[in-house]
Amino acid sequence: MNKRGICHHTNNPGVLHSIQQFMLIGLGLLFCICTYAQFSINGIEPCYDQRTHSFLISIPQSYWGKDYQANIVLTRNSTWKHAIINHQIITQPVIFEHIQGGKSYPIRVESDGKVFSYTLSFTFLPIIHLIGDFNTVYSIGSVELQNPLQATQVMSAEIKWRGGSSNGPTKHKHNYKIKFIDEQGEKKDYSFFSLRNDNIWILDAGQVDLFRLRNLIAGKIWNSFATKPYYTVAEFDVYTASRGEVVEMFLNDEYHGIYNFCEPIDRKQLKLRKYNESTSQIHGGLWKASGWGDATFYNNPKPYDNEQPTWGVFELKYPKLDDVSPSDYSTLYNAIKFIRTSSPSIFSEQIEEYIDMPVFIDYCLFVYVLNAFDLAGKNLYWAVYDKQHHKKITLALWDMDSTVGQNSTDDPLHPDYVAWDSKLVEPTYIYSRLMRLNVNNFKQKLVNRYIQLRQSSFSFDYLADIYYHYYDLIKNSGAASREELRWSGDSDIAFLQLNFEEELHYILDWLEHRLDYLDQYFAKQYNVDVFASINNKFAISGMKVDRSYKGIIIIKGKKYLVK
């Protein structure tokens, strides 16, 4: 057992079941007696960071800039005596003056004849506390969710590290996959932050991302404009990128920083038709490209085996072999084979029977604008709604940390292929053939859609607002400074220093130049004046300026320096 009393993982099903029963009975008690927090603030126990000897608690943002009155109560098993918090004796309500992010308040207590000093800080972000001993294999643990003004939720779950290269020996801020379970060890669904109701959730660390939230923000941008898949006339609430919420995470009484608590990409997210158990008939199918290679569609497809969990670089996501064996790769195989081997005339006539073209066009432009080089085949999910009636595959996106100038590693930090003027990534062989043959006037459709989106989701002010919003969120809550303190100099980020303000300026400068670069690219390639129809740049004097202007500009009320 670890210091929390959580048992290590096992691969023995019988032993695992016994452990589950034991753990589910005792986990709540173990959680209560092992935590460092020996007091509550208005009924909520704060989370403790043993690295900095500090406590953190979540309260509503409406208290920011105001005084906060709190009733402090020691827990029943507390060893603290003569506790003074913010220079006030806790027998009466304690006043915390002028609440703001990053501000700390002193705590002084006596215990076992010794004097201990701590600090207390506030956040308005939700806090998630994982308790257990985790690695690449699922093990039983506990998840505590602290939301402002809500009773703390304590839930049982199977938890493991998520990812591949992110779990290397020099990696520390891990991603986590969480499968919530009930007292009998069966799956249990939860809904968080007005998102989906499900038992499977992901804590995305943004491990190499110097802004930590590029994946969350890119998903938000995509969901703001992306055309819905071809089958959405029959389904509602289909999302082709993950949605999430910013949280602060603790692991076994250690602060682990800013995370994106998000939905996975799966059958439920895409609303694919379920396997029919009564007829043993497969309907929906889902596959993820975990690498490039065959996922770029440049190679002739190799034979597949429906009893294997992978086919080349593709991972079988639905239906999985644990539930249905054999599964079925045929729809994906047939689409790749058609794209790779069909004659130019047949390709032009039938490609839209195999590929969800409006979604694919949006994907190409998304890769262009954010320079999402890691999405050029890899990290795409391909899906069919119902193979019994369709052979058309559509796509969904995941793992978008490597966008807006962020490399997939921080050593080197900013190579040429992530620069704002880097060559446009060719999004798979589908794109190559469509461009070369100009199928159904594909080029004009691409530029028309670009001009349309440049006035909405691809406008600089829209994109800047999103990054500003999340920067303000983590800065004002104090999470940015806590993250910088926790992870600066770590090998995860090549021993660099985290600085969210500097990274925000880098992102905004990158976006400004990238959009200008793409405007000129489309103008040259398609003989259109993109800039004339979308210009929203104003000098500080209020006068509209053209693309060549250098100096301070105003965009939606914010000042920005163009160099």
Task: Convert 345-367 to b/e letters by CB count within 10 Å (16 or more is b).
Answer: eebbeebeebbbbbbbbbbbbbb
How many residues in the chain? Answer: 563
Residue 466 φ/ψ, nearest 5 degrees: -65, -50
Output the average pLDDT for the chain.
90
pLDDT at 164: 85
Token pair belonging to 37: 């927090």
Say how far apart CA 193 and CA 206 lie, in whole Å: 20
Q: Domain 35-123, what fold? A: Immunoglobulin-like (2.60.40)
Percent of the chain with pLDDT over 70: 88
pLDDT at 4: 38
Tell whether the model's pLDDT for residue 20 goes beyond 50.
no
pLDDT at 5: 35
Closest to 331 measured CA to CA, from 414, 380, 393, 376: 393
Identify the band that residue 7 occupies on the pLDDT scale cut at 50, 70 and 90.
very low
CATH 2.60.40: which residues of the chain? 35-123
3-state secondary structure of 427: coil
How many Å separate Cα 369 from the centre of its chain?
19
pLDDT at 532: 63
Percent of the chain with pLDDT over 90: 82
- C-alpha dihedral, 503 to 507 to 513 to 515, nearest 10°: 180
pLDDT in tens, 113-148: 999 999 999 999 999 999 999 999 999 999 999 998
Sheet arrangement for strand 558-562: 538-539, 551-555, 558-562
Asked whether 507 and 561 are in contact (CB, 8 A), the reply is no
The pTM assigned to this predicted structure is 0.89
Give the Cα-Cα-Cα angle 64, 37, 200 (nearest 5 degrees).
Answer: 80
Say how far apart CA 241 and CA 370 lie, in whole Å: 15
Token pair belonging to 226: 């992306």
pLDDT at 151: 87
pLDDT at 540: 63
Q: What amino acid is encoded at 320 in this protein? A: K
Tell whether the model's pLDDT for residue 12 goes beyond 60.
no
pLDDT in tens, 269-286: 999 999 999 999 999 999
Tell whether the model's pLDDT for residue 301 goes beyond 80.
yes
Tell whether the model's pLDDT for residue 28 goes beyond 90.
no
Tell whether the model's pLDDT for residue 72 goes beyond 70.
yes
Tell whether the model's pLDDT for residue 8 goes beyond 80.
no
pLDDT in tens, 36-50: 679 999 999 999 999
Identify the band that residue 558 occupies on the pLDDT scale cut at 50, 70 and 90.
low
For helices 442-454 and 428-437, what crossing angle results, to 10°?
Answer: 110
Say how far apart CA 131 and CA 112 lie, in whole Å: 27
Closest to 27 measured CA to CA, from 143, 150, 161: 143
pLDDT at 25: 35
pLDDT at 180: 98
How many Å separate Cα 361 from the centre of its chain?
23
Looking at residues 495-516, what average pLDDT do you find?
98
Looking at residues 362-390, what average pLDDT do you find?
97
Say how far apart CA 219 and CA 224 lie, in whole Å: 9
Tell whether the model's pLDDT for residue 498 goes beyond 50.
yes
Identify the band that residue 27 occupies on the pLDDT scale cut at 50, 70 and 90.
very low
Per the model's pLDDT, the better-predicted residue between 7 and 47 turns out to be: 47
Give the Cα-Cα-Cα angle 361, 534, 365 (nearest 5 degrees).
Answer: 15
Token pair belonging to 1: 């057992």
pLDDT in tens, 378-388: 999 999 999 99
Looking at residues 71-79, what average pLDDT do you find?
93
Q: Omega of the bond prior to 427 within 30 degrees of 0, cis?
A: no
CB neighbour list of residue 266: distance below 8 Å, 6 or more residues apart: 200, 286, 317, 318
Tell whether the model's pLDDT for residue 26 goes beyond 50.
no
Token pair belonging to 374: 């890691």
